[in-house]
Structure 1
Amino acid sequence: MEKTYDLPKFPESYWSETSSRQSSYAILEENIEVDIAVVGGGISGVTAAYLLAQEGFKVALIEAGQLLNGTTAHTTAKITAQHDLIYDELMQKAGAEKAALYYKANNDALQFIKETIKLHKMECGYSVQDAYVYTDSEAYITKLENEMSAYSSLGIPGSFTDQIPLQIPVKAAVIMQDQAQFHPLQYLYELVRKFVEAGGFIYEKTTAIDVETGPLPEVITSKGHRIKCKHVVSCTHFPFFDGHGFYFSRMHADRSYVLGIHVEDDIKGGMYISAEDPKRSIRYVETSKNTRLLLIGGQSHKTGQGICTINYYEELKRYAEHHFRVKEIAYRWSAQDLVTGDKIPYIGRITESSTNVFVATGYRKWGMTNGTAAALLIRDLIMKKDNAYEELYAPSRSMSLGTIANLIVDNADVAKHLIAGKLEMAHKRAEDLALDEGSVVLLHGKRAGAYKSEDGKLFLVDTTCTHMGCEVEWNNGDRTWDCPCHGSRFAINGDVMEGPAEEPLKTLHLRH
């Protein structure tokens, strides 16, 4: 009988556990005036703030929670322009010119990260790696051959093979040479330090809820304070300011899962992702103990939809135990990102007529390069410099009929979950929950959310999402309430963890 290994009881990212915050930052408690307000403390916001401060602008960076504690802290941290099987699809749907620009933008971002690490002599685990999209399915070999043909047509350095350095079954693979991996938080904390040295201001636990547009726009916080500025840059995962309701109907949120595993196998390097579903993303980390931690990710699904979420971790565990000699499962975590209709991020002016409010979103889980490309593009737009990628990423770009059809399906899915959530009947009572159990329950004759902590404390919330009224579902793997419509996530006490929701779930109480 094969030995099995326990999952860590609570999710924690390896990146967060192995990087220490250098400073804590104040909450914004007054009105201020700056040149540029950057909202969102992930890779896009931090990089944009750093770049703009280097250009001499007075910049304020605000974050609803803590800097670098969202999607950026839960990535697999591959710095690569190989974003799964994307280039043949882009050539077919968007044309060769845009496909080539997409590669160049992400390759430029890779080179920027490399040069920035060298410039500041950063110790952040940076190493050059080849990236592989592989398959063990006969049905996907032709798709990989088509992707290799796209590489050749677009001038992307790459090669085709039927072997990879990992000891897993493979029938074919496409290689993109000289990509990279790193420790994202060690890199970004250094950019934060350089930003502050350049005169930048940082405010944490400061939630932006709206923008008053105009020649001098004002960012309004949840506490009613205002940041008057010349330019606003929204890097908040889901845009906190949506202009004309454009973004909610043109993106959906996906979650995926990662295990950090100590193995006995000799991992020879490389970064890997399977072409077929369920996705398997694999890379290693050189730890401080001179051992290699294997990161195995995958099991993507729309946020708030799918099977009980702990089962996604269990599937990755079974995969790891089948293919590798597992010693310990040390970490588990999940990540969320947004997917646009045509798989190209929205980066640029938030609306076609806007000249001073910018947005960056929709990275499809490839945020290390797309997020960096976003910061570089927005810097150039603010400085009125030409940038070859403006039209490619423009949020106001036209969509193909095929993309529009996909968006119609996505929005029909939102409507289905909105209605289904309202009709779902709960039968469990809050009092019946076991310790460390969460569930939709019946409370005073209505649907509610309940979680009983390990010490017996009961948390009760209204399950109606404060964004657009969908009913949230319990995420057992991460102990959160997730919205199946637009991906908002809430803590056990109802606090917002990820937008687009800005207000917490309503707290409820038992009647005695």
Structure 2
Amino acid sequence: MKMQALWRDQADLPQFPALSGDYEAEVAIIGGGMAGILTAYLLRERGVEAVVLEADRVASGQTQNTTAKITSQHGLIYHKLMETMGEELARQYAKANEEAIASYRDIIAKENIDCHFEERDAYLYSLREMNPLVREAEAAAKLGIAASFTTQTELPFPVQGAVRFEGQAQFHPLLFLRSIVEGLSIFERTRVQTVEEDQLVTDKGTVRAKHIVFACHYPFLNAPGYYFMRMHQERSYVLALDHAMQVKGMYLGIDEDDGWSLRSAEGLLLFGGGNHRTGENRGGGKYNMLRKKAGELWPQSEERYHWSAQDCMTLDIVPYIGPYASSAPGWYVATGFEKWGMTSSMAAATILTNLICGGHSPNSEVFSPQRFTPGASAKNFLKEGGHAVRDLSREIFAPPRAVIEDLPMGHGGVVEVDGQKVGVYRDENGEAHVVSVRCPHLGCQLEWNPDEKSWDCPCHGSRFDFTGKLICGPAQEPIA
């Protein structure tokens, strides 16, 4: 049993050098995940030179932790979009994602990539209610998607109903990336620290570029753009099971407590769930919850891998793709993919490539980072504000929860040491690893995640390992 995504075990990506000194390019792309690499690939196809700057290794962030469903079925979204944004923008969203599936299919055929690409139907199901699924099926069909309501699935439990999307797909994301990175200009282990106008300052040198793309999952600059006020992050968990059932479709449940995700991959069943806002899993037990349910459904199953993923959630459930901010000409952003990073990455790469090369892109208005959608986002904006106030004040006012002597081995928590509130993890040998609980991004109090043995920020989703090392941003530095 390995605590990593199965994709990493089955695909060795080439290594790329770190930046050394100064560099110039037409386009600089921050982030070597699926969105960044696809953007560089599509730009090269249009004859535009781009350089990718990756803080760690290519696909070492959220891309390696995907369940790799390529689908335009993004939860209960189309009925909501039609109500809050109107039919035209909802149609843009549907078309951009349907075209993204076709683009994967075309690139894989053109480059002759063996990445286990398979066309599969995608299902959205519920154990409890039918009406939301009927509405969603009708809305998606009206927008041009081959969608229908059904009560028939292959799941090992009865459902009230499901929405079936035809012509969707799944693949092995790292085998795909291994092919398309060939010939691209990529610098790994090169962290972008600041960006000013056309210059990017990294820990290894500087890069000048006419166009700059932020494809780094979560923009690390607070201004302009103020994306930290318009998104939060959520975590989810996955088991890869042997000797469980194989499903022909891809499944996602809409029920809050029983919303399981299922798909087959590499002879295993990927079984996921346990969603929560980053920084709000003090009690842990997400993997064990999945294991318990898997044991009920498939008693003979064996766990081969387990891992978790983190996703950026926008106020109105639509990604931000396009110009970064009106005050930053030449900057672009791709973020807020919700839980649909593979399809959204292709949609983003297509839109950004069109904007850079021609100044206009079809089906892009719905994704505009400058959009104002009070009908879709006002409630969430107030909710996010409440979270921020609560979590910022926690660092100042909330007392420590224990003293270090009371912390069991193998556990972490916010405790009191020498009269100060700190974060402590006591490893299995009893050694205490002490860190600050103040997130270096904007000062929120970090919380212990026992499932990952990490310190997570409930405000904006930055994460650190138990020694204080930065795992992911928007924070750009470790904790003391």
Shorter-normalised TM-score: what interval?
Answer: over 0.9
The number of residues matched between the two structures is: 479
- SS in structure 2 at match of 1:352: coil
Q: Tell me, yes or no, if the aligned pair for 2:294 and 2:301 is still in contact at 8 Å.
A: no
Contact 1:437–1:453, Cα closer than 8 Å, also in 2: yes
**1:280-336 Cα distance to aligned partner (Å, 9 max, x none):** 111011x2xxxx211111111110014423x11111112212222432011111111
User: Given that residues 243 and 350 in structure 1 are in contact (C-alpha distance below 8 angstroms), is that contact kept between their aligned partners in structure 2?
Assistant: no
Segment drifting more, 403-412 vs 418-427: 418-427
Matches within 5 A, 1:352-371: 352-371=326-345
Report the counterpart of residue 18 of structure 1 in structure 2. 10
Q: Which residue of 2 aligns with 1:449?
A: 423
- Contact 1:320 1:326 (8 Å CA) reproduced: no
- SS class of match (1:64): coil
Picking from 143, 146, 154, the partner of 2:132 is 143
Contact 2:281 2:449 in 1 (8 A): no
Q: CA deviation at 1:456?
A: 5.6
List per-residue Cα deviations over 1:425-453 (Å, max 9, x = no partner).
32544466555433223222111122244
Aligned pairs for 1:196-235 (under 5 A) are 197=183, 200-213=184-197, 217-222=198-203, 225-235=205-215
Among 90, 98, 106, the alignment partner of 2:89 is 98
Offset, 1:505: 0.3
Counterparts of 1:241 and 1:421, CA distance in 2? 22
SS of the residue 2:236 aligns to: strand
The 5 A counterparts of 1:319-358 are: 319-358=293-332
TM-score (norm 1): 0.90
AA in 2 matched with 1:54: E
Counterpart position of 1:4 = none
Structure 1 residue 112: Cα displacement:
0.7
Matched, 1:300 2:275: yes
Encode CA deviations 1:230-259: one digit per residue, 9 max, x unaligned.
110000111123432521111111111111
Matched, 1:256 2:236: yes
Supply the distance in 1 between the matched residues of 2:340 and 2:141 (Cα, whole angstroms).
22
Q: Which moved more, 1:379-388 or 1:237-246?
A: 237-246
Matching residue of 1:488: 462
Shift, 1:160, TM fit: 1.5
**Partners of 2:125 and 2:251 within 8 A in 1:** yes
Once structures 1 and 2 are overlaid, which stretch shifts more, 450-459 or 342-351?
450-459
- Quote the residue 1:153 is aligned against: 142
What is the distance in 1 between the residues matched to 2:429 and 2:346?
Answer: 43
The Cα of 1:401 is off from its aligned counterpart by 4.1
Matched, 1:283 2:274: no
**Aligned residues: CA RMSD:** 1.8
Secondary structure in structure 1 of the residue aligned to 2:425: strand
> Do residues 31 (structure 1) and 31 (structure 2) align?
no
Distance 2:5 2:396 in 1: 34
> Within 2, Cα distance between the matches of 1:207 and 1:326?
45
Distance 1:234 1:368 in 2: 17
Q: Work out whether 1:122 is the aligned partner of 2:113.
A: yes
What is the match of residue 270 of structure 1? 249
In the TM superposition, what are the counterparts of 1:386-425 in structure 2 within 5 Å?
386-425=360-399
Check whether the contact 1:32–1:226 (CA below 8 A) recurs between aligned residues. yes
After TM superposition, give the deviation of residue 402 of structure 1 in Å: 4.6
Give unpaired runs (5+ residues) of structure 1: 1-7, 507-512
Of the three residues 173, 176, 180, the one matched with 2:162 is 173
Is 1:239 aligned to 2:223, yes or no?
no
Whole-Å separation in 2 of the counterparts to 1:191 and 1:330: 28
The answer to whether the 8 Å contact 1:496/1:503 transfers is yes
Gaps of 5+ in 2: none
For the residue of structure 1 that corresponds to 2:227, the secondary structure is: coil
Paired letter, 2:53:
I
What is the alpha-carbon distance in structure 1 between the residues aligned to residue 112 and residue 321 of structure 2?
29
Please say if residues 263 and 325 of structure 1, whose CA atoms lie closer than 8 Å, have aligned partners that are also in contact: no
Residues in 2 aligned to 1:133 and 1:20: alpha-carbon distance in whole angstroms: 33
Identify if the C-alpha distance between structure 1 residues 94 and 326 changes in structure 2 by more than 3 Å, giving closer, same or farther.
farther
Q: CA separation in 2, counterparts of 1:189 and 1:479? A: 30
Segment drifting more, 180-189 vs 456-465 = 456-465
CA distance in 2, matches of 1:264, 1:221: 46
Q: Which amino acid aligns with 1:438?
A: G
Q: Which amino acid aligns with 1:11?
A: M
Give the percent of matched residue pairs that are identical in Structure 1 and Structure 2.
37
Superposed displacement of residue 94, structure 1: 0.8
- The 10-residue stretch of structure 1 (40-49 or 56-65) with the greater mean CA deviation from structure 2: 56-65
- Alpha-carbon distance in 1 for matches of 2:398, 2:289: 28
